[in-house]
Structure 1
Amino acid sequence: MKIILATSNRGKVREIADLFSEDEVTPYSELIGPMHIVENGSDFAANALIKARSVFSKLPKGGAVVLSDDSGISVPLLNHEPGIFSARYAGEGASDRENLEKLVENLKARGLQEAPAYYTAAIAVVSPEGEYVVHGWMHGRVIDTPRGEGGFGYDPIFIPEGYDQTLGELDPAIKRTISHRAKALELAKPIIGMLRSLHA
């Protein structure tokens, strides 16, 4: 079955292609070129669906299934910021480092050296047979001093529950087993399996 990903992020493409190895997994940009998608939903699920629907609407009618994700980090003590604005917390076009630095500044402004936090991933699947959304979470805490060079985004300041290293320090293989996206993709597997049987 053809699975079109509503992302051009190579890391995400590789992760999803590995998980659905019996399918033909292709980033949308290889089929329809670059697109500007306005993510104006009120939560992760809405934004994941906006991306998947936008790509699905541009594809030739047929058997393709579109998969997208929207994810981010939330700190309850900071009014659940940055949440759905994780990728643009420090403004449109902000770098990962600028977003991370803004979160650290906001922690320090509250006199916090660390605070409980969690990552959310919403995976949306849009197909001729219908639309589906599943979620995965990873809980832990954020700290005010980045550690480690691995990962991306807020990984150098996030320590998952049960660990004493940040995601920037942890082995990528461990991160893949505990991540919010990995958990959501596991929940998407039965949906993809059901659609695969319908498209066979």
Structure 2
Amino acid sequence: MKLVFATNNAHKLEEVQAIIGDKFNIKSLADIGCSDDIPETGVTFEENAKQKTDYLFHKYGLDCFGDDSGLEIDALNGEPGVYSARYSGSRDMEKNIDLVLSKLGDHPERTARFRTVISLFLNEQQYFFDGVIEGKITHERRGSGGFGYDPIFIPESYDRTFAEMTPEEKNQISHRAIAVGKLAAFLKGGG
């Protein structure tokens, strides 16, 4: 089965393909010749994920899925949330991480979670799958793997950040792995 993943983020594409395996042929936006900047104007992860699949289905008529993910920090009232990718006003993740660490300072409450919502448009029906992993924010960057906020997020019951884990370790437990696992189970069950 061919599905278009509404992303050109190579890291996300690799993670999803690794989780789903080779039973499904996952194509990126570039693979279908889409270089459009798909709007993400929603105020929830669900709205943003839905915008992506609605856009792709209506423009290309293809079965597709899209996700929106973000980091929610309790001491920052859920920020950066849906603005995670551009929290500092740019898509520069170093600046985004700096802003998070600066805003948190020495605050003792560092609980946070990564959340992913996937919207699937299949056979003209829309479905949603979510994944959440609880954890906490470090005081400084740790590790060189992963991407995004991985160097400052330690998942619950672990003592290493996502950036200190191998991709295989992260893909066993991450928010995206949980949501993609639900998506894969749905697809393997015949949709």
Q: What TM-score, normalized by structure 2, do the two folds share?
A: 0.92
Q: Shift in Å at residue 38 of structure 1?
A: 1.7
Q: Shift in Å at residue 24 of structure 1?
A: 2.2
Structure 2 unaligned spans of 5+ = none
Question: What's the counterpart of residue 73 of structure 1?
Answer: 71
> Would you say how many aligned residue pairs link Structure 1 and Structure 2?
190
Question: What's the counterpart of residue 168 of structure 1?
Answer: 163
Q: String of CA shifts for 1:125-164, please: whole Å, max 9, x gaps.
A: 0123300111001111002211111111111111111111
RMSD, aligned α-carbons: 1.6
Pair 1:51-2:46 in alignment: no
Pair 1:120-2:134 in alignment: no
Distance 1:83 1:10, change over 3 A: same
Counterpart pick for 2:94 among 94, 97, 107: 97
User: What is the aligned-residue identity percentage?
Assistant: 34
Q: What TM-score, normalized by structure 1, do the two folds share?
A: 0.89
Structure 1 unaligned spans of 5+ = none
Question: What's the counterpart of residue 32 of structure 1?
Answer: 33
Question: What's the counterpart of residue 13 of structure 2?
Answer: 13
AA of the residue aligned to 1:124: S
What stretches of structure 1 move > 4 A for 4+ residues in a row? none
Q: Quote the Cα distance in structure 1 between the aligned partners of 2:22 and 2:79.
A: 35
Distance 1:14 1:171, change over 3 A: closer
On the 8 A contact 1:96/1:154 being kept in 2, the answer is yes
AA of the residue aligned to 1:38: P
Counterpart secondary structure, 1:145: coil
Q: String of CA shifts for 1:6-64, please: whole Å, max 9, x gaps.
A: 001122223333415222221122213201122111211110110111111121x4xx3
